[in-house]
Structure 1
Amino acid sequence: MSQPRVIVVGNEKGGAGKSTIALHLAVALMYGGARVAVLDLDLRQQSMGHFFGNRRAWLAANGADAPLPLEFPLSAELSVAPEAEAMDAFRAAFEAAQAQADFVVIDTPGGDTAISRAAHGLADLIVTPMNDSFVDFDMLGGVDPVTLDLKRPGLYSVTVWDSRKARAAHDGRSIDWVVLRNRLAPTEARNRRRLDERVKALSRRVGFRVGPGLRDRVIYRELFPFGLTIADLSPAIRPVAVSLQHVAARQELRALIAALGLGEVTGQTLLAAE
C-alpha cells in the first residue's frame, strides 16, 4: 500500500471552524471511496469523536447507510498526562492509522500542544481556517497598529514554518499549506478588503495558498447532532428539510475540495442530486 496522505486541520486560534472543516473533508473523501482514518487531538472537547459517535447512533437508529471512518481515539485523560505519555499515545495511534488508511485527517486543538506540533510535522497538507477578522489574522501575522502594514509572521505561521523545515530535513518532502477564508460575512465590507490585502501579503512572505472556506450557515450546526454533513444529504438521508441554502452549502464544499486539490479523490460524489 502506498503511503497515506496526511491532512492536518490546524490553527492555534479557537473558534475558527477547524472541526467543521475536518469533518466535511473526512466525509467527502469517504464518499469518494477512500479509506479515511481520523484522529482528534482536541483531547478535552473531542468534537470529531462526538460527531462520529453521533453518526453511528443516528445511522443505526434510522436503518440508514453512510460511510464511517477508521477511528483511533485518544483518551481525554491525556490532556493532563505527562507530555511523554501523550506523545507515545499519539505516535501509536498515528502509526495504526497510517497502516490502514489512504488518508489520515487530523483535527487539532485551538492552542499549542506537543502532539499538535508533532502532527503538523507529519502533514502533507495543512488546512488553516480563519474567520473574517483581524483577531484571527493575529495568529498568522502581526500588523502595524497605525498603518495596518504587515510587520511579522504570527505565532502559528512560525509553527508551520518550523514544521516545514523539520519535514524537509527529515525526508526531503514539502508540506502544502492552505489558509481558508472561513465564515465570511454575506456583505462586502471595508474590513474585509483590508484583511484580504494583508492575507495576500503574508501568503507571499510565508508561502501559503488562499482558498475558500465555508460560510456561517445554520445547516452545518444543524446536522452535527446527527453526525451528518452536507455531503450526506440524499433522498435516503434527510434529517432536515432541504432548501436552496443547502444547495449553496454543497457548492461551497465542492469549491473547498477543489481548492485543496482533492477533487480527483472525491470525483462526482458532491454532484449528486439534492
Structure 2
Amino acid sequence: MLGNEKGGSGKSTTAVHIGVGLAHAGFRTAMIDLDSRQRTVARYLENRVAFGTKRDLVLPTPDVAVIADGPDAAAELALRLDQASGFDFIVVDTPGRDSELARAALARADTIVTPINDSFVDFDLIGQVDPETFAVRRPSFYAELIWDARRARAKADGTQVDWIVLRNRLSTLEAKNRKRVGAALEELSKRVGFRVVGGLSERVIFREFFPRGLTLLDRNALEDFSLSHVGARTELRALLAGLNLPDWDPSKLA
C-alpha cells in the first residue's frame, strides 16, 4: 500500500512504477486506486493501454480498479481484497488525505510504502524535529497512525507489517539538508520501526511519461533511451529490490 497524507510526494508515480515493475517481472498484479477524484493511477494505466494498442506494443499492465470514497467503500475494498486470490500482488494507492477508506487499506496492508520528498516539510508528516539541532522530538500523527495499525494487525493475525519510507526527489544540491534529513530519518526509524529505501529522483521524464502511460521499464517503447533513463532505471530497480517482496528476482527486469 502506498500511503502519505501529504500531496506532491510522487506517491502515484511510485505506485505505478511498482505495479508495472511487478507486471514486467511476470507477477499477476492488480492495482486499486482509492483517489476517485484524481484517478491518477487509473488514468496512467488507461493511457498505457491506449498507447500500447495504438503502437502495437506489448506493455505489461496490471489490472486496475477505482473505489470511490463513501459509506460502502471500505466494505467494497475488503471484498475486492478477499476475492483477489488470482493475483500475486495488489498495489493500493491511497489519496493524499485522511479518510475511512485510506485507514481501511492501511489495516489490510502487508507492506506500507510512504514516499516523502527529501525535506523537513515532508518529514513533519512522520516526525517533529528541534529547530536548532534537528534532533527528533517525537513521532507525528501519521507515524502514530501507522504504529497503531501495525500493532492491531499483529494482534489480529500475527502479521508483521513492513513499513518503508521512500526518500523521493533526492537533490544533488543542498547536501547539508540532505544529510540532516537522513540523520533524522535514521533516528526516527529506530523509534517507530520503519526502513528507509531510496526512491525516485526529480526528473522531467516522469511528467513526460504520463500521457503515454510509460515507465522506465518500457525500453521497447522509449524513442530516445538516454543516460538519464539509465540512471533513473537503476534507481527504480534498487527501489523494487528494497521492498523485499516475496519471490522477487531482480534478474527478471534485465
Q: TM-score, normalised by structure 2?
A: 0.95
Name 1:64's counterpart in structure 2.
Answer: 57
Q: Give, in whole Å, the separation in 2 of the partners of 1:45 and 1:151.
A: 35
Q: Give, in whole Å, the separation in 2 of the partners of 1:52 and 1:152.
A: 39
Q: 1:91 aligned to 2:70?
A: no
Q: 1:27 aligned to 2:20?
A: yes
Q: Which amino acid aligns with 1:39?
A: I
Q: 1:143 aligned to 2:146?
A: no
For 1:165-244, list aligned pairs within 5 A. Answer: 165-234=151-220, 237-238=221-222, 240-244=223-227
- Count of residues in correspondence between the two structures: 254
CA contact (8 A) 2:35 2:66 kept: no
Q: Give, in whole Å, the separation in 2 of the partners of 1:260 and 1:244.
A: 25
Q: Could you tell me how far 1:144 is from its partner in structure 2?
A: 2.1
Q: Give, in whole Å, the separation in 1 of the partners of 2:38 and 2:81.
A: 19
Q: Could you tell me how far 1:92 is from its partner in structure 2?
A: 2.6
Question: Quick one: structure 1 residues 111 and 198, their matched pair in 2 at CA, closer, same or farther if it must change by over 3 Å?
Answer: same
Name 1:18's counterpart in structure 2.
Answer: 11
Q: Give, in whole Å, the separation in 2 of the partners of 1:230 and 1:138.
A: 30
Question: Quick one: structure 1 residues 173 and 246, their matched pair in 2 at CA, closer, same or farther if it must change by over 3 Å?
Answer: same
Q: Give, in whole Å, the separation in 1 of the partners of 2:25 and 2:133.
A: 47
* Structure 2: 5+ residue stretches without partners: none
**Matched position secondary structure for 1:44:** coil
Name 1:5's counterpart in structure 2.
Answer: none
Q: Which amino acid aligns with 1:162?
A: D
Q: Give, in whole Å, the separation in 2 of the partners of 1:263 and 1:225.
A: 31
Question: Identity across aligned pairs (percent)?
Answer: 46
Q: Give, in whole Å, the separation in 2 of the partners of 1:117 and 1:125.
A: 14
For 1:106-145, list aligned pairs within 5 A. Answer: 106-145=92-131
Q: Give, in whole Å, the separation in 2 of the partners of 1:262 and 1:232.
A: 21
CA contact (8 A) 1:250 1:270 kept: no
Name the Cα RMSD after superposition. 1.5
* Structure 1: 5+ residue stretches without partners: 1-7
For 1:228-267, list aligned pairs within 5 A. Answer: 228-234=214-220, 237-238=221-222, 240-262=223-245, 264-267=247-250
Q: Could you tell me how far 1:263 is from its partner in structure 2?
A: 8.6
CA contact (8 A) 1:28 1:266 kept: no
Q: Give, in whole Å, the separation in 2 of the partners of 1:118 and 1:263.
A: 23
Q: Could you tell me how far 1:71 is from its partner in structure 2?
A: 2.0
**Matched position secondary structure for 1:116:** helix
Q: Which amino acid aligns with 2:60?
A: P
CA contact (8 A) 1:33 1:266 kept: no
**Matched position secondary structure for 1:173:** coil
